């Protein structure tokens, strides 16, 4: 994608302006151009192509409601003829237009050829071009990982991606695989993943100055979720390749942190498993002793994400991090509460929650804080163990899942838990159906403001 956004000043003029500014812009144009727009029925919204008197391309116009909105130009690259265009817009809009331009070119083309004759956008700002490419690469990574079918995105494949990223940025990478998880005391990760022929593993990446503030990311890496013995219906299983979306999100976020060189000591922990069915699969009613020592009764084997996360979160506490952020495709209850396009999150620190929320609003990556309502923890009680892995009733499912995870986070820790969809169920400008990054840019902007 680096050839689709370049730093220079030459090209066909491309005007990107707000609807509210269109009439003033039009008044300053030639009579010939005004006549052309009138005769072609242009209504002051969307794309218009304007010719020279000899029929060659003179300029292009994009009028949007708000050019500072990051997806306003998400389809622009697909609506213009091939060629090179020089951006003409207000300075405060350039970052959003550049991001929308690039993200609109995203295609998941691993298994079939995609479009190749995209136009090129020239912007007179080399730093902006470099920054936008980094943002694009992180979002594309998340989308690619989520879109990849489970057959090609099992725990060992997530390991390969993590190792490649470590090599690229000079990070340290290690992993604990298979029965070694038991030897090193990660019993719930092993319990969920042991039924698969793809060995479960805990991926662990370290980067940055050891004396810098410690930021730890934890991502749910359930590469396919059959539901276990509490097997999902066919419709519920169809897109469970996306159940490793949490791991994709933390890898995308880690890529941004390392590419922009934030002053943090980064750690990324990914419990990577397949929740499969076989003779040694975890059963409803089983009791598992977690890494922390808490015993958990398995009420439902389809509530497996919190099981793999709880061991990883307990491991994260060993470093006494300044901030812990986890991402997980955890509950359908969150989708019922907020829909598929607004990710909910829980936080123990009010300032962090507000900072992430405010950051997301400025770049059209909205997130919504949900309550850690402590009385609901009673719903996780078990008659035979310290706690159950899920509540027996259908209500407040996202909250009880978050409260389960909070049991493995030390009191006083600045912790955020994102419960995400990781998937677009409808196409929108710059956001095709399929894998999507939710909250990654919002969290990064907050971290950049804090540690940049």
Query: Which positions are annotated as active-site residues?
Result: 232, 306
d(CA 450, CA 218) in angstroms, rounded, equals: 20
In 335-377, beta strands by DSSP E: 344-347, 368-369
Q: What is the chain's alpha carbon radius of gyration, rounded to the nearest angstrom?
A: 24
Evaluated on CA atoms 275, 279, 285, 290, the torsion sign reads: negative
> CA-CA distances (angstroms) from residue 293 to 67, 185, 324?
53, 10, 21
Q: Which two tokens stand for residue 131?
A: 């920054």
3-state secondary structure of 356: helix
Maximum pairwise Cα distance, the chain: 84
Please give the C-alpha separations between residue 206 and each of 218, 232, 273, 399, in angstroms, as whole numbers.
12, 36, 21, 30
SS (H, E, C) 249-291: HHHHHHHHHHHCCCCCEEEEEEEEEEECCCCCCCCCCCEEECC
Contact between 289 and 378 (Cβ < 8 Å): no
Q: Where are the beta strands (DSSP E) in 321-414?
A: 323-328, 344-347, 368-369, 387-388
Contact of 57 with 13, CB cutoff 8 Å = no
Paired strand residues for 222: 273
DSSP code for 29: S
Helix residue spans in 292-349 (DSSP H): 305-316, 332-338
430-449 b/e with 16+ CB inside 10 Å = b? Answer: bbbebbbbbbbbbbbbbbee
Residue among 15, 11, 12, 10 at smallest CA distance from 37: 15
Q: Using CA atoms, how far apart are residues 203 and 221, in angstroms rounded to an integer?
A: 10
Q: Which of 123, 85, 93, 127 is nearest to 7 (CA)?
A: 123
Tokens (6 digits) for 179: 């029965």
Question: Between the CA atoms of 261, 265, 270 and 271, what dihedral angle is there, to the nearest 10 degrees?
Answer: 180
């Amino acid at each position: 994608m680096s050839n689709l956004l370049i730093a220079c000043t030459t090209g066909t003029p491309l005007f990107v302006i707000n609807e509210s500014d269109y009439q003033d812009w039009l008044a300053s144009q030639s009579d010939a151009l005004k006549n052309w727009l009138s005769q072609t029925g242009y209504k002051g919204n969307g794309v218009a192509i304007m010719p020279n008197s000899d029929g060659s391309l003179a300029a292009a116009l994009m009028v949007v409601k708000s050019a500072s909105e990051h997806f306003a130009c998400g389809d622009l690259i697909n609506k213009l003829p091939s060629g090179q265009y020089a951006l003409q817009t207000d300075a405060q809009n350039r970052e959003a237009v550049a991001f929308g331009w690039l993200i609109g070119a995203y295609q998941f083309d691993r298994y079939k050829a995609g479009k190749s004759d995209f136009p090129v956008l020239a912007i007179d700002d080399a730093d902006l071009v470099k920054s936008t490419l980094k943002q694009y690469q992180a979002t594309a990574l998340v989308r690619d990982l989520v879109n990849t079918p489970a057959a090609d995105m099992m725990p060992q494949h997530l390991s390969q991606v993590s190792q490649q990223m470590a090599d690229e940025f000079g990070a340290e990478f290690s992993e604990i695989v298979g029965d070694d998880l038991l030897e090193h005391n990660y019993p719930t990760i092993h319990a969920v993943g042991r039924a698969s022929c793809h060995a479960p593993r805990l991926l662990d990446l370290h980067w940055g100055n050891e004396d810098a503030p410690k930021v730890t990311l934890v991502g749910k890496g359930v590469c396919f979720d059959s539901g276990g013995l509490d097997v999902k219906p066919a419709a519920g299983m169809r897109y469970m390749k996306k159940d490793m979306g949490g791991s994709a999100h933390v890898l995308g976020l880690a890529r941004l942190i390392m590419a922009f060189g934030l002053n943090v000591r980064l750690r990324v922990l990914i419990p990577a498993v397949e929740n499969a069915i076989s003779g040694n699969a975890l059963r409803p009613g089983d009791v598992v002793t977690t890494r922390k020592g808490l015993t958990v009764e398995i009420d439902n084997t389809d509530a497996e994400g919190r099981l793999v996360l709880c061991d990883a979160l307990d491991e994260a506490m060993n470093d006494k991090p300044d901030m812990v952020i986890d991402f997980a495709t955890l509950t359908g209850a969150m989708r019922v509460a907020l829909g598929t396009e607004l990710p909910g999150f829980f936080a123990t620190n009010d300032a962090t929650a507000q900072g992430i929320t405010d950051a997301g609003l400025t770049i059209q990556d909205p997130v919504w804080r949900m309550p850690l309502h402590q009385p609901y923890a009673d719903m996780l009680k078990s008659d035979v163990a310290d706690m159950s892995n899920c509540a027996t009733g259908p209500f407040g499912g996202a909250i009880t899942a978050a409260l389960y995870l909070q049991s493995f986070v030390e009191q006083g820790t600045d912790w955020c838990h994102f419960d995400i969809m990781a998937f677009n169920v409808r196409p929108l400008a710059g956001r095709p159906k399929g894998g999507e990054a939710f909250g990654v840019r919002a969290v990064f902007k907050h971290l950049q403001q804090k540690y940049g």
